[in-house]
Amino acid sequence: CMPGTRESILNVSENWVYDEKNHNILFITGSPGAGKSAIASSLVSKLGPKKSARFFFNQDSKYFSKPSNVWRTIAYRLAIINQDIGKYLEDFLKKDPSYLENIHRSIDFKNLIVLAFQSIPAERKAQAPPVIIDALDEAKTSGLKEQKEFLQTLVDWAKSLPEFKLIVTSRNYAEIQAVIEPCSFCIHLPTGQAVDITAKNDICTFLAISFQDYKPILKHRFSEVINQLAEYAAGLFIWAKLVTGYITTGPFEYRLDYILTHMEQLGEINNKLDELYTHIFYSVLQGCNPMERRQYEKIFGALIFTKSPLSINILEVIFDAEESEITSTIIHAALGKFRPLLQSFVSEDGDAPLHLCHLSLKDFFQEDAEEGRYRNQSYTQGMKPEKAKRFTHICLGLLRCMNYNLHFNMGQVESSHFSNKDPIEVSGRLSKPLVFACQWWAEHLPDNEDDKGDEEIIEEVEIFLRKYFLYWLEVMSLLGQVPDAGGAMLHAENIFKDLMIGNICRDASHFIFAFKEAIATSTPRIYISALPLAPKKSLIKQYYIQNFPRILGITKGGVEDWVAEIQVLKGHKDRVISVAFSPDGKYIASGSADNTVCIWNAKSGQPVGNPLQGHHEEVMSVAFSSDGKYIVSGSFDKTIQIWNVKTGQAVREPLHGCQSGVRTVAFSPNGKHIVSCSQDKPIQIWDVKTGQTVRKAFQGHENTVFSVAFSPDGKYIVSGSLDKTVRIWNAKTVTFSPDGKYIASGSGDKTVWIWDAKTGEAVGKPLQGHQGLVNSVAFSPDGKHIISGSGDKTIQIWDVKTGKVVGKPLQDQSQVLSVAFSPDGKYIVSGGLYDTIRIWNAKFAKTASEPLHRQTPYQKAVVAFSPDGKHIVTGSLEIQFWDAKTGDAIGEPLQGYQSDATSVAFSPDGKYIVVGSQDNTVQIWNVETRDPVSERMQGHQKVVLLVAFSSDGNQIVSGSFDKTTRIWDAKTGQAIGEPCQGHQGEAWSMALSPNGQHIATGCFDKTIVIWDINTGQGIDGPLPRNQKNTMLSLAFSPDGKYLASGSGFKKIHIWNVETGEAVGEALQGQQSPVISVAFSPDGKEIVSSDGKTIRIHNLGEDILHPTLRTLNDAHGTPFFTNQCILKENGWLCLPITSDPPSEKLLLWIPPEYHRGLWWPGNTMVISEIPLKLDFSLFHHGEDWAACYRDNTCLKCSEHVD
C-alpha cells in the first residue's frame, strides 16, 4: 500500500496480530481490485521479512496455484525464522526420512504445522510468527473434494492452534466465506455503493499523491478531480491505479476529460472497470496502421492467453522463432503503450515475468474471447485475440524455439553416474526462454477442431518428435519434471489422436512412462538404458538409434513392441481387491484391504485427492454410477458407502442391513438402485435416495454369493455363487454382455463360462487356460471379448465367438483380484494381491508377438541335464525337453502327464526320465517315444522331493517329505525292500550322490545334512552352518565332491562336501527362489530354475578356481559382474564397501526383462522374454557422451528446415 493509505486497516490488522483474546484467524475479503493482496503485502513488510511465513496463491504458477503445496512451503519458511519449529521439523524428518516422498498431502497440516507450533515452549509462544495465505480464490484444485479438504485445514487451525495467528485473503466467494467466516475475525473491503468513507479517503490519498506533479495544470480543480475519480473508483484500488497510469502516460488533459465524461454514464462497478480496460485499448490503437494493430494484437494476446507469465526475452524468442515481422523494438514499443495494464516489466536481462496489472484483466479478455467479442466492439475493432489463434502463434513460437535450440547433452553432464539428486547448476546451461518452451509448449497446443489441423503446428511437432524429443526429455529430466513430460505427451496424443503424428505422440508417451524411473533419476539414462532397451518397433527408437552407435547392444531376445502394461499405480497400503473405470474412462476407482477407496487419474496415474475413508474393514467391491458422478463401495464391515466423485465425500450415512461382509456391489443403469451380495448368501436391492432396501432379499443360493450385476436394461440381476450356480433374478464372478444377451462367469475350477441370459444354458464349452481360480471377469464394450483375472497371476483375453485365447496372457506380479475394461475398450485395469493397480494396453495385449522360445502356460520348475549335456528336461504341470545350446523346445510336452512334477532325472543312458510328483508318486517315461514305461509307483505318504537312477540304471531312489527313502526296480516299478527311515528333521530338498550311497538333505533349520542311504546315519556334521535362508534345491557334482544349493535368496552356492566350505562366489541371476539345480555331466555347468526361467551357469574348467564372471565395456573394463544386484525397482547396482555402505547405479532394466536377463557366466537363459546384452561398444561414466555419433556434445548440426 502507498504510504498514507489503508492505515486504519493495517493498524487493525497489526493490533489483531498481538491480541491474544481475539479470533486466531484474520479473514480479509473484497471484490477484485479492492486491494486485498496489497494489504497482505504491506502487513508482511510491516511485520518484517523474518517475522511471518507466507504463501501467495497465483493461478499462473504451477507451484503456487496448488493447495497441496501450501503447508510444506509454510513449514519451510517457519523453520527458517523460528528455531523451535526448525528443531521440531529437523527431528521429525530424521525419524521419517521418506516422509516428503509421501503423495498424500492431507497429513501435512497436522505433522508439519500443528505439531510444529505445539512444540514451541509456553514462554515463547507469544513470539511465534503469524502465517499469511493470500489470494485463496486463485487456488486451483482437482475438484471440490480437494478444495473442501484444504478449507478444513483452516478450520482446524482455529481449533488446534488457538494461540497462533493466521491471515487469509480472498475474493467474495460464497463457498470460501461460508467455511472461514464463522471461525475468524473478518475485515471486508467494501466496493461499489457499499464503499465507506475510509476506503474513499484512502483512494483520494493515493490519487492525490499520484497526480501531485499535475497539480499546477489542474490548479483549483485538483481536489474536485481527485474526489470525482475516487467516487468513480468505488473502492477499487486497481481502478485508481489503472486510471492513474493511463492518464499520466499520454495527453494528460485529453485522457482525464475522457475518463471524467464517460465514467459518469456507467453505473455498475464492473462496467466501470471493463470500460476502462476497453478504452485503454482504444487509445493504444488510435493512429496505428493495420500492420501495427496486428502486431499489437499478437503481443498483447500472448500476454493474455499464455498459460504462464512471459518475459520480454520469451516474447522475443516466440516472435523471432515464428519468423514474424515483430522485432524486439516493436515489442518494447507495444509494452510501453500497454504500460498501464502491466506491472513493472523493466529488467536488465529481460527475464523478469510480465504480469498483468490485475487478474480481472485476464478474466475480462478471456470471457469475451470465449464469446468471440468485446463488450465495446467499436473501440476494439481489429483487437480480437481469439483464444485458439493466440495459442497457435504462442505454440508455434515455442516449438520452433525448441527445434532451433535443443541438442545432445543439454546440461553438459560430465558423467552418466551423475544422479539428478546431485547438485548441478542448470540455470547457466539452459536459457530461460528454452526452459519455458520445454515446460509449456504442449499446454499451448490449440484444442479447438478448426486449429488442430494447423499445418505449421503439425509440421513443427513432427520435426520435434523425430529430431529433438530425446533432447527435450533431457531438459525435463534436469528440471525434475519427467512426470510433466509424460503428461505433455499424453495431452499432445489426445490433441492429434486422429492424425498420424498422434501415433508418434503415443509412442513417445510409452517411452516416457516405461523408463520414467531411469530418466528421472539420471539424465544420461535416456541413452544408457532407455533408448537401447526400448522395443524394436518403437518409433522413437527407430528415429534416434542410428545417431547413437556406441550404446548397449542386444544380441538375443528383447521385445518387439511395447508391453501391455502401461502404468503401475501405487498408493494403497494393502492388496487391491476391486477396480473400476469411470464411464468416461477418465478415472479409476480402487477398493483395498487397507479399508480405503482411491480415485485415480487414468492418464497420469496420479491419485485424485486423498483416499476415501469411512470403512473399517477391507473394501471388497467398487463401482461407478452410469453418469460417473458417484462411486459405491462394499466392505467386510457389513456396510455400503456411496461417494461423490467430485467432493470425495460420503453422500449419506453408510447403508446398514447386511448380516455379514459385503462381497460385491453394483449400480443399476439408471443410478437409482444398488444391488449387493454378502457372505451370508442373500442378495439385496437398495434405494440410493433413501438408503433403504426396496424388497425382501433374494434367497436361493446354498453358499456364499461372490458377485452380482444388473442387466443393461436394469430388469434383471445375475448372481454367481460358490454353490457352483449362476442365477438370474425377475448368477464366484459374473457380468452381463453390453447387449444383455450373455452372461460370463468365472469359477473356482479355473474356467470361464458364457451363458445365454434368456435360457440360462451354457454357450459352448468352458474357456480353459487359467491355472488358478478365476477371481474376476468383464466384457469389452463391444461385447466381442472377455477378460478374466486369476489367482495364477495372469489376465487372459478371450474371443467370445470362438472361445479362444487372444494373444498372450498378461503377467502380473501377484494374484489378480479384479479386472475391468475402459469404456473405449483400449485399456484394461487390474488390481492384485500386492498394493498396486496396473493399467494395460488392450491393443498390445491382443497383438503381442509370440516369444522367441516355445512357452508352456505353466511354470518351469524342476530341471535336469541329459547325460551327454545336450538336452535339459523341465517339469512342473508339464514335462518339456529343451536344447541346452539354443534354448529351443524339443517337440511337445509329454502327453498324459497329469500331476505336478517336484523332481526329475535322466537315466545314465539318457533313454528314460523318472519324475517325482506332488501326488506322492514316481513314474518312468521313455524319452524317444514320450510314453510312460511303468505305472505310477506308489508308497510315499507325502510329496516326493528326490528321484534319481542308480549308476547302472537298474534302480531308482526316491526321497520324500514323509522322511523316508525308497528304492525301486527300474524295470518292474516294484519297491525293493522296506523304506529307509533316515533323516529326522523336516526337509525342503534332497539330492543323491553319484555313487548312490549318500543323500544330501536341505533341512528346515537352513542346514544341509549328508547321510548314508543304507544305515540312515548322518555323515560328519551339517553344512553349511551360517546360511540365512532355506535350501530349496540340492545337486551333487558328477564326482560327488561338491554340492550345489539353490536358496530362497535367489542365489546358488557351491559347497565342498569334505570341508563344508563355500566354493567361489554365489551364482546370481534368478529373480525368484531357486527351486531346482543340477550339474551338467562334465561338471562345468549348472542349470537352475526359479519356476519361470531356466538358466545355465558356466563354472569354467576348474570349479575350485572359477573363471572371473564379468561383462566388459568398450574399454575392456569389467562392468557387469556377479557382485551386482538387480533390485525390484529395476536398478542394476554394484555394492560399494564404505561406511555407510553405498552402491553404484549401473543400468536400469525394465521389469519385463528381469527374469530373462543373461548374467555373467550364463551360457543359456530360457525365459518368456530373454535378454542378452552386448557391452562391447558401451560407453558410460565420464565417457558416456561418446555414445553420440558426433562426440562433440554440441548442438546437432542437422536441422530440419
Domain containing 175 — which CATH number? 3.40.50.300
- Range picked from 35-44, 840-849, 898-907, 1003-1012 for highest mean pLDDT: 898-907
Examine residue 1069 and state whether it is found in any structural domain, yes or no. Answer: yes
pLDDT the model gives residue 47: 63
How confident is the prediction for the chain on average, in pLDDT?
79
Residues 640 and 662: beta-carbon distance below 8 Å = yes
Q: Does residue 530 carry a pLDDT above 90? A: yes
The model's confidence at residue 698, banded by pLDDT at 50, 70 and 90, is very low
Angle between helix 197-210 and 237-248 (nearest 10): 20
Cα–Cα dist 573/592, whole Å: 8
Residues 588 and 600: beta-carbon distance below 8 Å = yes
Instruction: Tell me the per-residue pLDDT of 756-770, one tens digit each, with 9 for 90 and over.
Output: 767 767 788 888 888
Tell me the residue type at 1114.
A
pLDDT the model gives residue 232: 75
For 1000, how many CA atoms within 13 A lie in the half-sphere containing its CB?
30
Chain mean position to CA 568: 6
- Beta-bridged to residue 596, according to DSSP, are 613
Please report where in the chains the cell 454367481 appears, as a residue.
Answer: 720
pLDDT the model gives residue 371: 41
Cα–Cα dist 140/1036, whole Å: 67
Angle between helix 290-305 and 359-371 (nearest 10): 110
Q: C-alpha grid cell for residue 917?
A: 510328483
Q: Does residue 27 carry a pLDDT above 60? A: yes
Q: C-alpha grid cell for residue 825?
A: 475398450
Tell me the residue type at 748.
G
Q: Which residue has the higher pLDDT, 406 or 811?
A: 406
Cα–Cα dist 1036/1078, whole Å: 8
Of the residues 326, 352, 385, the one at which a domain ends: 385
Residues 934 and 973: beta-carbon distance below 8 Å = yes
Closest by CA to 525, choosing from 1068, 1131, 75, is 1131
Pair type for strands 1125-1126 and 816-821 = unpaired
Residues 370 and 387: beta-carbon distance below 8 Å = yes
Please report where in the chains the cell 464469446 appears, as a residue.
Answer: 371
* 955 and 825 in a common domain: no
Q: C-alpha grid cell for residue 283?
A: 487509445
Q: Does residue 1112 carry a pLDDT above 80? A: no
Residues 530 and 515: beta-carbon distance below 8 Å = yes
Q: C-alpha grid cell for residue 232?
A: 468513480
- Range picked from 303-307, 321-325, 665-669, 1051-1055 for highest mean pLDDT: 1051-1055
Q: How many other CB atoms are found less than 10 A from the CB of residue 194?
A: 13
3-state secondary structure of 495: helix
Q: C-alpha grid cell for residue 193?
A: 455503493
- Beta-bridged to residue 698, according to DSSP, are 683
- How much of the chain, in percent, has pLDDT values that exceed 90? 14
- Range picked from 151-165, 229-243, 706-720 for highest mean pLDDT: 151-165
Phi, psi at 663, each rounded to 5° = -90, -45
Q: Which residue has the higher pLDDT, 965 or 843?
A: 965
Examine residue 1197 and state whether it is found in any structural domain, yes or no. Answer: no
Q: What is the CATH number of the domain that holds 381?
A: 1.10.10
Chain mean position to CA 99: 18
Chain mean position to CA 858: 30
Q: Does residue 1105 carry a pLDDT above 70? A: no
Mean pLDDT of 107-136: 89
The model's confidence at residue 731, banded by pLDDT at 50, 70 and 90, is very low
Mean pLDDT of 649-664: 79
* 824 and 715 in a common domain: yes
pLDDT the model gives residue 485: 92
Domain range for residue 510?
A: 393-551
Q: Which residue has the higher pLDDT, 402 or 258?
A: 402
Mean pLDDT of 396-406: 91
Cα–Cα dist 686/27, whole Å: 44
Q: C-alpha grid cell for residue 949?
A: 537312477
Cα–Cα dist 821/510, whole Å: 19
Q: C-alpha grid cell for residue 1058?
A: 569334505
pLDDT the model gives residue 734: 59
Domain count, the chain: 6
Q: Does residue 1088 carry a pLDDT above 90? A: no
Cα–Cα dist 578/595, whole Å: 12
Mean pLDDT of 8-18: 78
Q: C-alpha grid cell for residue 1096?
A: 545355465
Instruction: Tell me the per-residue pLDDT of 501-522, one tens digit each, with 9 for 90 and over.
Output: 999 999 999 999 889 889 998 8
Mean pLDDT of 192-199: 64
Enter the DSSP assignment of 356: B
Q: Does residue 684 carry a pLDDT above 50? A: yes
Q: Which residues make Cβ contacts (< 8 Å) with residue 570, sequence separation at least 6?
A: 835, 836, 837
Q: Which residue has the higher pLDDT, 759 or 1135?
A: 1135
Q: Which residues make Cβ contacts (< 8 Å) with residue 224, sequence separation at least 6?
A: none
Mean pLDDT of 210-214: 84
Cα–Cα dist 246/239, whole Å: 10
Q: Does residue 156 carry a pLDDT above 70? A: yes
* 206 and 155 in a common domain: no
Examine residue 224 and state whether it is found in any structural domain, yes or no. Answer: yes
**Phi/psi-derived region of residue 1050, left when phi > 0, alpha when psi is between -120 and 50, beta in every other case:** left
Examine residue 1193 and state whether it is found in any structural domain, yes or no. Answer: no
Residues 445 and 495: beta-carbon distance below 8 Å = yes
Q: How many other CB atoms are found less than 10 A from the CB of residue 251?
A: 11
Examine residue 1113 and state whether it is found in any structural domain, yes or no. Answer: no
Closest by CA to 411, choosing from 508, 350, 365, 479, is 479
pLDDT the model gives residue 168: 92
* 57 and 169 in a common domain: yes
Instruction: Tell me the per-residue pLDDT of 307-320, one tens digit each, with 9 for 90 and over.
Output: 788 788 888 888 87
Q: C-alpha grid cell for residue 1186?
A: 561418446
Examine residue 1160 and state whether it is found in any structural domain, yes or no. Answer: no
Tell me the residue type at 915.
V
Distances (CA, A) of 1181 to 425, 554, 833, 1113, 1115: 19, 20, 39, 11, 12
Q: C-alpha grid cell for residue 1063?
A: 566354493
Q: Which residues make Cβ contacts (< 8 Å) with residue 1165, sequence separation at least 6?
A: 887, 1069, 1093, 1094, 1095, 1096, 1156, 1157, 1158, 1172
Q: How many other CB atoms are found less than 10 A from the CB of residue 689?
A: 10
Examine residue 839 and state whether it is found in any structural domain, yes or no. Answer: yes
Residues 1088 and 1070: beta-carbon distance below 8 Å = yes
* 785 and 652 in a common domain: yes
pLDDT the model gives residue 251: 79
Please report where in the chains the cell 514316481 appears, as a residue.
Answer: 922
Enter the DSSP assignment of 654: P
Please report where in the chains the cell 531357486 appears, as a residue.
Answer: 1074
Mean pLDDT of 1015-1041: 72
Of the residues 1093, 1108, 1123, the one at which a domain ends: 1108
Cα–Cα dist 80/755, whole Å: 68
Cα–Cα dist 725/737, whole Å: 18
Of the residues 157, 189, 221, the one at which a domain ends: 189
Please report where in the chains the cell 442391513 appears, as a residue.
Answer: 657
Largest pairwise CA distance in the chain: 131
Instruction: Tell me the per-residue pLDDT of 597-655, one tens digit each, with 9 for 90 and over.
Output: 998 887 767 787 778 888 999 998 898 988 888 999 989 888 889 998 877 778 888 88
Examine residue 281 and state whether it is found in any structural domain, yes or no. Answer: no
Q: Does residue 853 carry a pLDDT above 50? A: no
Enter the DSSP assignment of 993: -
Q: What is the CATH number of the domain that holds 661?
A: 2.130.10.10
* 1039 and 1091 in a common domain: yes
* Size (the chain), residues: 1201
The alpha-helical segments, DSSP class H, found in 753-866 are: 842-847
Distances (CA, A) of 157 to 24, 104, 127, 225, 932: 8, 19, 18, 46, 78
Q: Is the pTM of this model over 0.75?
A: no
Mean pLDDT of 1169-1197: 76
Tell me the residue type at 768.
Q
Cα–Cα dist 210/188, whole Å: 25
pLDDT the model gives residue 855: 37
Angle between helix 222-233 and 237-248 (nearest 10): 130
| Gap between the terminal Cα atoms of the chain | 52
**Phi/psi-derived region of residue 234, left when phi > 0, alpha when psi is between -120 and 50, beta in every other case:** left
User: What are the DSSP E strand ranges found in 879-938?
Assistant: 879-883, 889-890, 901-906, 912-917, 922-926
Please report where in the chains the cell 528321484 appears, as a residue.
Answer: 947
* 360 and 245 in a common domain: no
- Range picked from 190-199, 364-373, 689-698, 812-821 for highest mean pLDDT: 812-821
Cα–Cα dist 674/632, whole Å: 8
* 514 and 416 in a common domain: yes
The model's confidence at residue 200, banded by pLDDT at 50, 70 and 90, is confident
Q: C-alpha grid cell for residue 1035?
A: 545337486
Q: Does residue 487 carry a pLDDT above 80? A: yes
* 954 and 939 in a common domain: yes
* 403 and 377 in a common domain: no
pLDDT the model gives residue 324: 65
Tell me the residue type at 1019.
I
The model's confidence at residue 545, banded by pLDDT at 50, 70 and 90, is very high
* 207 and 179 in a common domain: no
pLDDT the model gives residue 515: 92
Q: Which residues make Cβ contacts (< 8 Å) with residue 428, sequence separation at least 6?
A: none
pLDDT the model gives residue 133: 92
Lowest model confidence (mean pLDDT) among 141-150, 263-272, 287-296, 595-604: 263-272
Helices (H) and strands (E) in the chain, counts: 30, 58
* 433 and 375 in a common domain: no
